[in-house]
Structure 1
Amino acid sequence: MIVGIGVDVVDLVRFERAASRTPRLLPRLFSAGELETPQRTLSLRSLAGRFAAKEAFIKAIGHSDGVQWHDMRVVSDDHGNPSFELHGAAAAIASQRGIGSIHLTMSHDAGIAIAWVVAES
């Protein structure tokens, strides 16, 4: 059963400008493992998609009380399929809401990054 859905869009130019103006922004939003994978350093476009994913996740679970950015890591499997690793308050809220599966898709094109999240029990 679907517990919640979330969608978010990020303006790529605005995200890139914020990242260049505020050097500590990216480490605040993303763990070291999110900024660099064993295969490559992620582009700002990819990071914007991951930021949209985190925002969409918050919408899907219903609230963000106590959730820190590093509590919800966006990871990819060997085929590049994205998913979440949850820790701390994000994991606790998901458990309290009976969420057993989280589905994530992301894309970027035409100046925006977008992410959809579906949370299932």
Structure 2
Amino acid sequence: MIKGIGVDIVDLARFERQVERTPGLVSRLFAESERGLPVHSLAARFAAKEALIKALGDSAGVTWHEMEVVNDPAGNPEFLLHGAARAALTARGITSVHLTMTHDAGVACAFVVAEGLA
């Protein structure tokens, strides 16, 4: 059963300007494993985190570092959730989260589907 869906789009040029203007932004928004990626990949991961928050319904108590985007063994993106982010899923009865991301034509986009039992 679908418990929530979320989508987010990030303007790549605007995101890059924000990263350049705010030196601490990358360390504030991304887990250490995400920080060395190209700006278009960071933008897609930011969109993924925003989409997850929308799928959950709110972000109460969840921090950016608790929503880590990693690749599964086949190279597909997935969330590695920690702390309050993991607890939020459990509290809502969410048993799996599906994530897809893309970047093209100056934007990065992510879509999340949260599933759980009825």
Aligned residue identity for 1:35: R
| Distance in 1 of aligned mates of 2:76 and 2:35 | 16
1:24 match: 24
Identical aligned pairs, as a percentage?
A: 64
Give, in whole Å, the separation in 2 of the partners of 1:57 and 1:15.
Answer: 19
The total of aligned residue pairs comes to 116
CA displacement at 1:5 relative to structure 2: 0.1
**What letter matches 1:14 in structure 2?**
R
Aligned to 1:8: 8
Task: Give the secondary structure class of the aligned counterpart of 2:65.
Answer: helix
Q: Report what 1:39 is aligned to.
A: none
Q: Which runs of 5+ in 1 are unaligned?
A: 37-41
Aligned residue for 1:109?
104
Gaps of 5+ in 2: none
List, as ranges, runs of 4+ consecutive aligned residues in structure 1 with deviation greater than 6 Å. Answer: none
1:28 Cα deviation (Å)?
0.4
Letter in 2 for 1:63: D
Q: TM-score, normalised by structure 1?
A: 0.93
Aligned to 2:85: 90
Counterpart of 1:76? 71
Aligned partner letter, 1:117: V
Task: Confirm whether residue 43 of structure 1 aligns to residue 38 of structure 2.
Answer: yes
- Give the structure-2-normalised TM-score: 0.96
In the TM superposition, what whole-angstrom CA distance separates every residue of 1:3-40 from its partner, at most 9, and x where no partner exists? Answer: 0000000000000000000110001000111124xxxx
